[in-house]
A and B are shown apart, each in its own frame.
Chain A
Amino acid sequence: MLVKVLAFASFREILGKERELEIKEAATAKELLEELAQASPRFKEAAFDESGELRDYVLLMINRKRIDPGQDLSRPLHEGDELAVFPPLAGG
């Protein structure tokens, strides 16, 4: 199935602003992030710690709603879903 990945700020500099990815049916957000990490050592270094856990400051949205990495990373994604990955907010 096809999903969209958006990246902002420091993560945009690594991944590019937008890309579409073909992933297996019902893959989770965690699996999608791991796939991105496999393809990009820089993203892996920036987003995951040595034990393979997502770093605390990595923020995520699925379809423009913030998700809690502690709970929602294992939720299956659907065709056409949009995952956004970004560092802490700094507006204003």
Chain B
Amino acid sequence: MIEITEKDISLDEMMKRARSKDAGATVTFLGTVRDDGIERMELEAFREAALAELEAIREEAVSRFGLKAAEVVHRTGTLAVGESIVAIVCSAAHREEAFSGCRYIIEELKKRVPIWKKEIAGDGERWVGRK
């Protein structure tokens, strides 16, 4: 399942959906808001395009690594330090495929999915990745 949401991410729900009898390994990646001296972070997505790209990446990962399941949930809206930005859960028959699939999804997501972050600190704000 692919989701872009303003609500908290439930890793438990994602793990439940990814479980299956033929999966012997489940790997989770959780990206969280790091305290770089910021007060909060605002996340914005080009929702329709981001969902389509995430679905494409998910399908690539499933076919390349033979995943049994792949779940991706990305937050938008205002996040405090420590909150979850993105969660990826991949299950496969063996750990190697599950690790590889999870890594593939986060790396491709960063390169291809139209989502942006703005860091807000006491002394100003800045868009991440902007020169």
**Chain A contacts to B: CB under 8 angstroms:** 6, 8-10, 12, 57, 61, 64, 84, 86-92
Contacts and interface: CB of A to CB of B under 8 A. Distances in A.
Interface of B: 31, 43-46, 48-50, 52, 74, 85-86, 106, 109-118, 127-131
Contacts of A57: 130-131
Contacts, number: 68
B126 to A, nearest CB: 9
B85 A8 contact: no
Taking each of B50, B110, B114, which has the highest tally of chain A beta carbons within 10 Å of its own beta carbon?
Answer: B114
A9 B76 CA distance: 12
Nearest to A17: B44
Given A64-B52, A89-B116, 10 more contacts: A8-B114, A9-B44, A9-B116, A61-B114, A87-B116, A87-B130, A90-B128, A91-B86, A91-B109, A91-B117
Nearest to A12: B44
A86 B113 contact: no
Contacts of A91: 43, 45, 50, 74, 86, 109-110, 113-117
A92 B127 contact: no
Given A8-B116, A9-B127, A57-B131, A89 B44 contact: no
A26 to B, nearest CB: 25
